Structure 1
């Protein structure tokens, strides 16, 4: 009888935890202004954009044309067009990904992940929640930050300044 009671309690605990985790995930999804289903995102994004922006993949280093972008302009989210970074804050980090020392105010949101076995600060588009990359504390002054961003997650809009 005790064994049966233990099994029932253990099962109930597992079901309870799973339900709460799903609720938290749903709440996080609702915090973004733009919310679409996975199938809607798949229709709008290229395969590579979908993998990075919606599945948190990482593009190959040195594969983005945005590494060599020069001139005035703004980097926007490839999924929703939200303004993320100004080119004047981009710097050569040598990592193989576009890097910035700061974002446009309100353009990005932060979370965390531990997919590599340690905690990292993840960067998301503040409007649609798309995964952009990660932020590290080894950037140039004055911020000391390095926003290491997947080029495929962004578009560049040049300005005539």
Structure 2
């Protein structure tokens, strides 16, 4: 069971209104999804799934997965850790408002197994790696996440 508190940066979500713009100043920076960091104001519940994956990773590691002090540093840490996002896996990336404003060094990333203590089980890493995914369309949604083997 995952309980998240401190909704100071939370926003109401209206799934029936796909044209609604949302604030990019949502969620605590360490748990903020990359689409928001690149300035998207059109996002969905995938941002919450990214955050949940970051929280689970932190519980397993004992330290935050991505701990930037600014939005740019946050993106740099995400890219250094996950590797540079691939356009064939996230074609919408180049249309994000702030995508062209800064370039980051190309990165191959760190293998998931090397980010966690050796006592971490593969099923735990699998849950995180299916939530902390660049393309929000490819992240597990809440229903898929609770059906993950980790919970069985």
TM-score (norm 2): 0.26
Identify the structure with the greater helix proportion: 2
TM-score (norm 1): 0.25
Identify the structure with the greater strand proportion: 1
